[in-house]
Amino acid sequence: MLIKVLGAELTDDEAMSFSCPHFDPDQDYCRLLKNDCVPGRPGCVLGSKAVFAVPVEERLREREEEKCQQEFERVYGPRPRQN
Ligand code: SF4
């Protein structure tokens, strides 16, 4: 994920590396917000200082769609593939 901190002089390599102390990599989970880690979401430590290649609203929507799909498949099983 491309993250650039406004006002900082960063190379592209530096801008792409970010480590958050609240991130639980096993669950892809934010321990601070007790929710999925979606950098830049409301309450995230990155706040309004970061600019993302994909807007946070779009990533939040995609994450919710993924969760709906996972819940559907948990209840009803995988959808049949169409050839
Ligand atoms: S949502 Fe923000 S504060 Fe939470 S783990 Fe992800 S980057 Fe860190």
Please identify, by atom number, the ligand 1 atom nearest to the C-alpha of residue 41. 1
Please identify, by atom number, the ligand 1 atom nearest to the C-alpha of residue 20. 8
Question: How many structural domains does the chain have?
Answer: 1
**Closest Cα to residue 4, out of 39, 41, 42?**
39
From CA 58, how far away is CA 40, in angstroms rounded?
11
pTM confidence score? 0.74
In order along its 83 residues, the chain shows pLDDT tens digits of: 555 555 445 555 555 567 899 999 999 999 999 999 999 999 999 987 788 889 999 999 999 999 999 999 999 998 777 76
Residue 23 lies in domain: 3-76
pLDDT at residue number 75:
95
pLDDT at residue number 82:
77
Nearest-CA residue for atom 7 of ligand 1:
39
* 83 within some domain: no
**Closest Cα to residue 1, out of 34, 37, 49, 42?**
37
pLDDT at residue number 8:
47
* 48 within some domain: yes
For ligand 1, is residue 3 a contact (CB within 6 Å)? no
